Copies of this chain bind each other. A is one copy, B any other.
Amino acid sequence: MSENKIPYKIYLEEQEMPKQWYNVRADMKNKPAPLLNPATLQPMTAAELEGVFCRELVEQELDNDHRYIDIPEEIQEYYKMYRPSPLMRAYRLEKHLGTPAKIYYKFEGNNTSGSHKLNSAIAQAYYAKTQGLKGVTTETGAGQWGTALSMACSYFGLDCKVFMVKVSYEQKPFRREVMRTYGANVTPSPSTTTKVGRKILEDHPGTSGSLGCAISEAVEVALGSEGYRYVLGSVLSQVLLHQSIIGVETKAALDKYGIVPDVIIGCAGGGSNLGGLISPFMGEKLRGERDYRFIAVEPASCPSLTRGKYVYDFCDTGMVCPLAKMYTLGSGFIPSPNHAGGLRYHGMSSILSQLYHDGLMEAVSVGQTEVFQAAEEFARTEGILPAPESSHAIRAAMDEALRCKETGEEKTIVFGLTGTGYFDMVAYEKFHDNKMTDYVPTEEDLKPGFAGIPRFPGNPIA
């Protein structure tokens, strides 16, 4: 089909929607390192993991072999409520930038959770339901993941207990209300409902909470409640598997029009959206079928790939979860309080970390002011008000397109627009009022985080 026939929005038909997730680990020569039991430093067994996670999800977590995994029909049906998501041609942004580059973005924000998180939430809820569980527990910061999980649990009639970081619970009551609309039980963390919560409140009276503490509370409740398991919205390999729906759809839409991207760009916090977007393309690269550039974009104030260490570390600040080998700033690292742009996670998915370590993917970090500038330009030209997280990818895509303007290259750029910013207007307000500042941690600032990385033979902290 000729280039000028490409519509603004490429939609797959429902019958063209993917029926299988793609498991990039099957094509990786160097598999991601296994999760370790922090007590024994041995690889976590399925039996150990099944105490915390749903059975089928544990299988997916440990599966490095099967390239395709069938999406259960009930999940496919749910996906049809809000998927396929559109692949948008950014004609207006291209014109605005005056670039010869062709820019596409996969927009995952057109569902009530406002982001791609729902793709994994529905899968995790489904497996909990088929295992006959009563409910699941989780943590949420700003509330995107909690909202997605609430929607998914409501659909399957599962109980959903969300521990929401107290400061967000109080300052972002709207997300909380969305979760309540879907019937979730939302508790501000730290709370007096758990042992770890009570201990933290005793040690730090008046604390406004942290994601690490919320995870610890959610895990404690899952372990202590008959018929409950804990679920997590990013980082894990199972989550990247579910999010591969983004990449598989993107590839199908591009193939339909014979478009071959040169560069694929995504923001990276824990890595679920980026991992999902790039996976089928990465598969082609790993199999030597085609070459692509992949760029992970992270905040300069939380630069795990670009400035972290590739070692075993705790997945949570509370140190109750298994150890994962990943690029990390240390599980005790906390981004500067002026950081409003999301993507605050201290580490990076083991899969992406391995790919990056093997030179198969690039990474850049960007400052939050330039991110919000890109967000505003994007909103004004393309109409969609992007989430701060997603805007990291916008920034990098615009920079790439502007380089094409200089060189005259007609590159095809694809980026992931993970969500909308409707619940992030406090950050936008800061930006409009020129109250946003940038922060790049010094080497000194990074030291305390690195110091918290567990030391043991075979885990050299360079």
Write the residues of chain A forming the contact surface with B, with a CB cutoff of 8 angstroms.
7-9, 11, 13-14, 80-82, 92, 110-112, 114, 151, 154-155, 173-174, 177-178, 180-183, 376, 379-385, 420, 422-423, 425-426, 428-429, 432
Contacts and interface: CB of A to CB of B under 8 A. Distances in A.
Contact of A425 (B9, B13, B174): B174
B420 A112 contact: yes
Given A422-B422, A429-B177, A151 B383 contact: yes
Given A7-B80, A14-B7, A80-B8, A425 B177 contact: yes
A81 B383 contact: yes
Contact of A112 (B180, B385, B426): B385
A287 to B, nearest CB: 33
B112 A181 contact: no
A301 B151 CA distance: 31
A432 B383 contact: no
A185 to B, nearest CB: 12
B173 A379 contact: no
A112 B384 contact: yes
A13 B7 contact: yes
A181 B379 contact: yes
14 contacts: A8-B14, A8-B80, A11-B11, A81-B382, A112-B379, A112-B420, A173-B425, A174-B425, A177-B425, A177-B426, A181-B428, A182-B379, A182-B380, A422-B423
A182 B383 CA distance: 9
Contacts of A177: 425-426, 428-429, 432
Contacts of A114: 422
A82 B381 CA distance: 13
B178 A383 contact: no
A341 to B, nearest CB: 15
Nearest to A84: B9
Contacts of A384: 111-112
Contacts of A376: 181
A422 B115 CA distance: 13
Q: Identify the interface centre among A177, A381, A429, A432: most chain B CB within 10 Å of its CB.
A: A177
A112 B382 CA distance: 10
B110 A110 contact: yes
Nearest to A423: B422
Contact of A81 (B8, B111, B182): B8
A14 B86 CA distance: 13
Q: Identify the interface centre among A114, A385, A426: most chain B CB within 10 Å of its CB.
A: A385
Contacts of A380: 154-155, 181-183
A1 to B, nearest CB: 12
Contacts of A13: 7
A394 to B, nearest CB: 14
A154 B383 CA distance: 9
Contacts of A181: 376, 379-380, 385, 428, 432
A174 B380 CA distance: 17
Contacts of A425: 173-174, 177-178
A73 B375 CA distance: 27
Given A14-B8, A112-B384, A432 B154 contact: no
Contacts of A110: 110
A218 to B, nearest CB: 22
A390 to B, nearest CB: 13
B8 A112 contact: no
A379 B81 CA distance: 12
Contacts of A428: 177-178, 180-181
Contact of A92 (B81, B178, B385): B81
A92 to B, nearest CB: 7
Nearest to A14: B7
A114 B385 CA distance: 11
A92 B156 CA distance: 12
A418 to B, nearest CB: 15
Nearest to A10: B14
Q: Identify the interface centre among A7, A82, A183, A382: most chain B CB within 10 Å of its CB.
A: A82
A78 to B, nearest CB: 8
